[in-house]
Amino acid sequence: MLVLALDTSTPAVTAGLVRDGVTVAERVETDARKHGELLMPAVQAVCAEAGVALRELDAVVVGAGPGPFTGLRVGMVTAAALGDALGIPVHGVCSLDAIAAAVVADGPLTGNLLVVTDARRREVYWAAYEAEGARLSGPTVESPDALRERLPGLRLVAAAGTMADGFGLPVHEATPSPAGLVAVAPLHSAPGPLEPLYLRRPDAVPPGERKRVAR
């Protein structure tokens, strides 16, 4: 099975082709302000590198976050558009799960894993995982200090993600990899609704009712 994997849940713009679980081409560029400009050129680049046409894809997997609103939308809208145009399934997966899967694939852990990424507003997104990769807790958004208070009860031996530094643990994978994204996708099941994991309300809100001007 040939799968296109995309993720824009972090400042990294990731596109990769995974054939039967093996990454055959990958492009990662980091610019938190240029997800929209970088993603499709990255898709075209990995297809060219692998000598693959888009029509040969069997599925698309996309990181559904948690992540900042604008960047996350770029990846998910692109994945949905490609799936619709090519008539192939699109699977949304938790981006933190994908990071954990990549860490576990590199070698067995002796305890639990913390995956933590930047949520902005002086907060982080995080989830905790067993040594085999099963999620124990989260995903959650809160301040780093609030997370530190939880650490003693999580029995952690390692951390991963873009905000993994600063928690006193050995640091592994930083961003979702194509192989990690595909590893946690239920490729042999019908895809569910493609829904982003924002974990909080966006800054933008509909305007309220206009105030009446007294005459």
User: In this structure, is residue 205 part of a structural domain?
Assistant: no
Both 84 and 8 in a single domain? yes
pLDDT of 204 reads 46
Do 49 and 124 fall within a single domain?
no
Indicate if 12 and 70 belong to the same structural domain: yes
Count structural domains, the chain.
2
pTM: 0.91
Looking at the domain assignment, is residue 149 inside a domain? yes
Residues 58 and 134 reside in one and the same domain? no
Identify the CATH number of the domain in which residue 57 sits.
3.30.420.40
> Are both 31 and 57 inside the same structural domain?
yes
In a domain, 137, yes or no: yes
Tens of pLDDT, residue by residue over 136-171, are 999 999 999 999 999 999 999 999 999 999 899 999
The structure tokens listed for 92 are 């949304």
pLDDT, tens digit, for every residue of 9-51? 999 999 999 999 999 999 999 988 899 999 999 999 999 999 9
- Containing structural domain, residue 67: 2-94+177-183
**H helix intervals, 51-152:** 69-86, 95-106, 144-150
Same domain, residue pair 25 and 108: no
pLDDT digit string, tens, across residues 180-194: 999 999 999 999 999
